Chain A
Amino acid sequence: MGTVLTRELLVKWAPLIVLIVLILFFAAMEPRFFSMRNFARIGISSAPALMVAIGVTFIIIMGSIDLSMEGTVSVCAVIFAFAFIAWGGTLASVAWLALPLALVVGGIVGLINGLVHVKLKIPSFMASLAMGFVGTGFALLLTGGDRIRVEDELFRGLLTTRWFGFPIMCYVAVAFLLIAWFIQTRTTLGRNFYAVGGGEDLAHASGLNVNRVRVMGFALAGVFYAVGALLAVGRIGIAETATGSNFMFVSITSVVVGGTALWGGIGGVWNTLIGVLIVNVINNGMVVIGLPGYVQDGVLGALVIAAVVLSTDRKSVTFVK
């Protein structure tokens, strides 16, 4: 019993310990790492990724996987930018409606994603991967390859206005993190994610509509991708097809590194926060101490394997496909 407990405790706290060790390591290597300005930088790069990663966290808790985030983020970003500019181009006008519009678009893309997965009985990774390509293609169709500049000062305030050293987008991300936490712990939907991931047969045998839970999960994930898209546009002031690129690797890496189990049922949004911070601290820290980009990729890859190894009880897993 003793060994089981220590293993469980280790698995539970390992991500946080890794994060702290990383911060201390980089701070020791390069004192400039440990500064407010640098932490703000990490916060800025983490905020959009955190939103996307939270979205996919719900899916992974259900035991599925969603790979549509890049396409979804691009579509949301581009539609938001078009609508925002068409309706006045500043948050002080009706153009603010472009914000909720983006969330709705994200939700719809997610909904379609979920319906394709559930109704056509296509494995979630394939359905979502395909939907992601459709999204990227659609975004390219809309923009024709152009970049759309969003230069409204109020909107760019997400990045430029700072409270206590951190830009507003960090606080927005924290607010949505709390919303996600609320959904995870206090709503039937959140509870259902865990039930489906922990035992789909059982959830079914308890009278749950498992398919509906799945579709809702994908729709919810889509909304969070849309929030990520808005923050990403806010960060660089540009919406384009490439807005979504790189989110797939970063978000799934973060979820896994944060300790959410890939087979579902275990983990949550706080794990994902830690995971996103680990990934971004590594990226940032490596730049600060002057290591080249390919080393970062290698380290992140190794970290993913380490995280999965640590969180898997290999005795109970006989076959891996």
Chain B
Amino acid sequence: MYELRKVDKKFPGVHALKAIDFKIGRGEIVGLVGENGAGKSTLMKVIYGAYQPDGGDITIDGTKVRFQNPRQAMDHGIGMVFQEQSLITNLTVMENIFLGFEQQFVSFGVINWKAMSAAAKAQLAKVKLDIDPATITSSLSFAQRQLVELAKVLTLEERVDGDLVILLDEPTSVLAREEVELLFSLVRDLTSRASFIFVSHRMDEVLELSDRIYVMKDGEVVDVVGHDEADVDSIQHKMVGRDVDKEYYREQKQKPYQADAPPLVSFENVSAGTRYQNISFDLHPGEVLCLVGTEGSGREAILRTIFGLEAPSEGKVSLKGRVMSRFTAQNAVSLGVGYTPRERKVEGIVGGMNVYENMTLSQMRNYANRGGVLRISAEKDLAREWIDRLAIKTPDVYKDCGGLSGGNQQKVVLAKWRSGGSDIILLDHPTRGLDIGAKEDVYDMVREMSDDGVGIVLVADTLEEAIGLSHTIIVLKDGIAQKQFACEPGNKPSLFDLVHHMI
């Protein structure tokens, strides 16, 4: 029915989808699995019309189609239930269901609320949700909202001739176990009305629900397994099966960390609400500690706690032996914590400010006299020194950092923290969006920092990177530490070991 043939999508520097073949039949439930960055979300976006493929064909019942935007895809019966809930919470349920399609209830410019309410009621009945359509959406539970989203997508049934394809992106991530069961039985019932594409991190759920499973890796479909022959282990192997190049991650430069030295960061049974529970670890000088887990497993929240952006609800956090009571970023910075965030543009560098201004942003106190007058020549000297040291490619220190390449921006951020004497460095996806050369530069920097006795907490972009770079790996799932691995060179855990505990 719906089919992709040799669909290709390229972004600058990334070949996101490589000749994807994908097919879904009437009433079928198709699972889609893969690591972060395997191309799942790009594929979804192509399917529901948010991206246009660079090559290949999309056909519906054998006819070629091309969607300029999601609205056109919807007109062909393809709907998306979003992972980030896409309902507008201050509107009523019925307004949300018919958002953008109110015209059918309008006569002489006035909305007939009664008709809309009745129509909404009919949609809600499809998903077996018995609520007043005039309820304000914010008063619903997450599970109910999920169903409303599904009901919203199911309005396509009336609007479109032909078959429906509905994408479910991580629909279970905010649901409790019973609610998941309910959703699944509902989806199975609805296969009489539509086909579903189901994307989830939770392998067991995908296995349970799907008739067929597409396994993606590095922008390719590496396998398609039927419901009956699917088994978790073999799928996980296919998701990650890749040769790891030891050179690439500078494994030969990995030295033992200073296990006897007092820890730089120490967590004792720390919990933060539902984001993570009962986390304990010590970070030693020279150690690279990697937090591994899926999105939302609590790894970012732990980084945010160390940096003082999020106060824990229980447990004891110590930085360099000092038990933390006030959690503010200023506190953390003054104790020597540096944070290189995932979104370099948002939290990493200030676009519009030049290289030296960015480098001294966290340590202006060191470059100013008591009255707050800056010693700009000293700042420039510092910037020049670090431009040499990290081989930052910039014409001069006056260059606007917003105009540097991603790798060089990352170096400026690292220089900012290192030059300020930070010795606890938090790296959140430090190589995301960088090309290979720039990645290798980052790996070199990680090793150099370790040699200098800096403790690093890393959330890596890929599992290989996590394994290659770290001394210690903590695997998290749903906010709980599953297992801790020691990773001496030559004796590192395999990808499979990690994935096994992640999902």
Contacts and interface: CB of A to CB of B under 8 A. Distances in A.
Interface of A: 185-189, 191-192, 194-195, 198-199, 201-209, 265-266
17 contacts: A186-B373, A188-B364, A188-B368, A191-B357, A194-B352, A194-B357, A195-B353, A198-B352, A199-B351, A202-B346, A202-B348, A202-B349, A205-B339, A206-B333, A206-B416, A207-B334, A208-B361
Contacts of A206: 329, 333, 361-362, 416
A195 B346 contact: no
Contact of A191 (B341, B346, B347, B364): B364
B351 A198 contact: yes
B372 A195 contact: no
Contacts of B339: 205
A99 to B, nearest CB: 22
A203 B416 CA distance: 13
A8 B339 CA distance: 31
A208 B373 contact: no
Given A186-B374, A188-B364, A194-B357, A205 B352 contact: no
Interface residues of B, number: 29
Contacts of A198: 350-353
A198 B350 CA distance: 6
A265 B333 CA distance: 23
A189 B416 contact: no
A265 to B, nearest CB: 5
Contacts of A185: 376
A271 B268 CA distance: 54
A199 B350 contact: yes
A187 B375 CA distance: 9
A232 B341 CA distance: 48
A202 B350 contact: yes
Given A186-B376, A188-B365, A195-B361, A209 B330 contact: yes
A187 B309 CA distance: 27
B347 A201 contact: yes
B70 to A, nearest CB: 15
A208 B334 CA distance: 10
Interface of B: 307, 309, 329-330, 332-334, 339, 341, 346-353, 357, 361-362, 364-365, 368, 371-374, 376, 416
Given A202-B349, A209-B330, 19 more contacts: A187-B372, A188-B364, A189-B372, A192-B364, A194-B357, A195-B353, A195-B361, A198-B352, A201-B347, A202-B347, A202-B348, A205-B307, A205-B341, A206-B333, A206-B362, A207-B332, A207-B333, A207-B362, A266-B352
Contacts of A265: 350-353
Nearest to A204: B329
A265 B349 CA distance: 13
B497 to A, nearest CB: 33
Q: Which 9 A-B pairs have the closest CB atoms?
A: A207-B333, A198-B350, A206-B362, A199-B350, A188-B364, A188-B372, A187-B372, A205-B347, A206-B361
A205 B353 CA distance: 16
Nearest to B332: A207
Q: Which of A189, A195, A201, A205 is most buried by chain B, counting CB atoms within 10 A of its CB? A: A205
Contacts of B333: 206-207
A194 B350 contact: yes
Contacts of B352: 194, 198, 265-266
Nearest to B334: A207
A143 to B, nearest CB: 37
Given A206-B333, A206-B362, A207-B362, A195 B350 contact: yes
A199 B368 contact: no
A259 B480 CA distance: 51
A199 B352 CA distance: 10
Contact of A187 (B350, B351, B353, B374): B374
- Name, among A195, A199, A207, the residue most crowded by chain B CB atoms within 10 Å (CB to CB): A207
B330 A208 contact: yes
Contacts of B334: 207
Contacts of B368: 187-188
Contacts of B364: 188, 191-192
A276 to B, nearest CB: 23
A79 B362 CA distance: 40
Nearest to B308: A207
Contacts of A186: 373-374, 376
Contacts of B353: 194-195, 198, 265
Nearest to B362: A206
A227 B350 CA distance: 32
A209 B365 CA distance: 12
Nearest to B401: A198
Contacts of A205: 307, 309, 329, 339, 341, 347
Contacts of A209: 330
A227 to B, nearest CB: 20
Nearest to A266: B352
A111 B309 CA distance: 27
A207 B329 contact: yes
Given A188-B364, A194-B357, A208-B330, A203 B350 contact: yes
Nearest to A206: B362
A208 B347 CA distance: 12
Given A203-B361, A206-B362, A191 B349 contact: no
Contacts of A195: 350, 353, 357, 361
A207 B366 CA distance: 14
B282 to A, nearest CB: 24
Contacts of B332: 207
Contacts of A194: 350, 352-353, 357
B155 to A, nearest CB: 26
Contacts of A208: 330, 361-362
